[in-house]
Structure 1
């Protein structure tokens, strides 16, 4: 079988050069001895439909991961959308199933994966402050709502936060602007015993080449967990300050690897070899 005649998948976005997905999937393919490859393609918004139609004609194309800014824009070009992705309103994985393109969302499961030990514990109350209202934020908000969190959703424009909050059912939701969290507050937090507080950055702010995330730690309850889905750099300013304050942190590689593992199974029909996670992390951070 030639290199061109093997099952293949890829990640698409704009920009895409920074993506670590090819390294992750390539690592797993090699460990499992699967004849396959995984690449990346720069796809501009106006070309998205034509790109997918072209890939549809390739019987060996297993699908693609979808990153910014296409997670919502891709949906009209798909034949079916998985119920989880439909509920979230964003697709990060497209699977080529026969003649059909099927949209999935593995971001939600990938986001929750490092939190599962905490979520296995009962809490008196759970609250999450979610910074951002884009495609990743949608997955995070729905995932945390499913775990019984009260949500505070903050976006650059209040109407963006309001639109996402209106879609979340079954839990209390509140909205704010990102500017609100950039300004100091003198709010006096009450006793947080038995309470799980999480602050999540789902914006690209703090990523290499982006402005820093303006955030004042007076908004963080004592003992909160700080989760930044940015993975380049791995240690963002948000996480660096959290560590300095003695808070528990989760970095962006946790979600990246978790969502990639779910997508890998969809593309290549086998579970990712997670016993090599430590080796993979070392490779990703080299």
Structure 2
């Protein structure tokens, strides 16, 4: 949070974020709180860019805080001065606040997904869950699933070592049966799972397709996606047609955005109001 009393200037750092709804979502909530001059701007980078250098340049230009999105939630950590306990445990940051020139990293994805799961899929079975993706977002989702009481969690990633590292970190924090596999081993776990979560970029604008084989989805399963643009990814569309309960990425977006807004402003965001505004924004988008 800015301590200078000037209107807050927040940035979103990521690649391929030109269609992000976060600026409108944050600034609408700021208006509801009477925060005059609150600005939320996109800082779009190439996927191979240095997010730390971009962040430091933005701080010098007067930014008071940042949200971090794909693919920089881990690489940006090298320039931060301090980390919250959750960000350190997750090994990923999605929120940075600037206080007296120092950068403090937080992770609101963890609580964001936990809140989304509880509100969007109440009573969802948590015996066996397969999580696809062990990057920055996947780390947050894995911790959230473990804290939510998942008994047997399988984490699949194209990089098995990355999945194994995440298993080690989650297991050290939360007692649960967790294992790592490669994406080539994911099909049997999908068939056996109570729930499946996509935490990869596959399915978002610019990354079309399905992150998992969906031919054997059953109506008794639930499927969640953290992607919100489009709000109905191919995975969510396919799962719904298969009779599964589904959780779209808008739920997590709003929950983590509200928590970030709280950190930026020291005001309490209204999650239900923000979801209503997100739905309004989505309804106004041009047809694909």
TM-score range, shorter chain: 0.7 to 0.9
In structure 1, the partner of 2:176 is: 171
In structure 1, the partner of 2:247 is: 250
Partner of residue 56 from structure 1, selected from 59, 65, 73: 59
- Cα gap change, 1:145/1:68 in structure 2, threshold over 3 Å: closer, same or farther? same
In structure 2, the partner of 1:83 is: 85
- Aligned to 1:19, the other structure's residue is in SS state coil
Q: CA deviation at 1:51?
A: 2.5
In structure 2, the partner of 1:141 is: 142
Q: CA deviation at 1:233?
A: 1.6
Q: CA deviation at 1:251?
A: 0.4
Please report the TM-score for the alignment, with normalisation by the length of structure 2.
0.85
Instruction: State the alpha-carbon separation in 2 of the partners of residues 156 and 73 from structure 1.
Output: 18
Instruction: State the alpha-carbon separation in 1 of the partners of residues 246 and 122 from structure 2.
Output: 18
Matches within 5 A, 1:223-238: 223-238=220-235
Matches within 5 A, 1:154-165: 154-165=156-167
In structure 1, the partner of 2:112 is: 110
> Runs of 5+ in structure 2 lacking a partner?
1-5
- Tell me if structure 2 keeps the 8 A contact 1:13–1:68: yes
What are the superposed Cα offsets for residues 24-48 of structure 1, whole Å, 9 maximum, x if unpaired? 1011112222111111112345443
Q: CA deviation at 1:156?
A: 1.6
- Cα gap change, 1:164/1:256 in structure 2, threshold over 3 Å: closer, same or farther? same
Q: CA deviation at 1:186?
A: 11
> Runs of 5+ in structure 1 lacking a partner?
190-195
- Cα gap change, 1:57/1:246 in structure 2, threshold over 3 Å: closer, same or farther? same
What are the superposed Cα offsets for residues 145-175 of structure 1, whole Å, 9 maximum, x if unpaired? 1222121111123333222222221211122
Q: CA deviation at 1:202?
A: 0.6
Q: CA deviation at 1:49?
A: 2.9
- Aligned to 2:255, the other structure's residue is in SS state helix
- Cα gap change, 1:167/1:231 in structure 2, threshold over 3 Å: closer, same or farther? same
Matches within 5 A, 1:170-189: 170-181=175-186
Matches within 5 A, 1:69-80: 69-80=71-82
- Cα gap change, 1:219/1:97 in structure 2, threshold over 3 Å: closer, same or farther? farther
In structure 2, the partner of 1:17 is: 18
- Aligned to 1:270, the other structure's residue is in SS state coil
Instruction: State the alpha-carbon separation in 1 of the partners of residues 70 and 277 from structure 2.
Output: 27
- Cα gap change, 1:158/1:233 in structure 2, threshold over 3 Å: closer, same or farther? same
In structure 1, the partner of 2:199 is: 202
Instruction: State the alpha-carbon separation in 1 of the partners of residues 140 and 55 from structure 2.
Output: 23
In structure 2, the partner of 1:280 is: 278
Instruction: State the alpha-carbon separation in 2 of the partners of residues 132 and 24 from structure 1.
Output: 26
- Cα gap change, 1:47/1:153 in structure 2, threshold over 3 Å: closer, same or farther? closer
Runs of 4+ in 1 over 3 A off after TM superposition: 43-47, 55-58, 117-123, 185-189, 217-222
The range that moved more, 159-168 or 34-43, is 159-168
Partner of residue 67 from structure 1, selected from 69, 73, 79: 69
What CA RMSD, in Å, does the superposition of the two structures yield over aligned residues? 2.6
In structure 2, the partner of 1:27 is: 28
Please report the TM-score for the alignment, with normalisation by the length of structure 1.
0.85
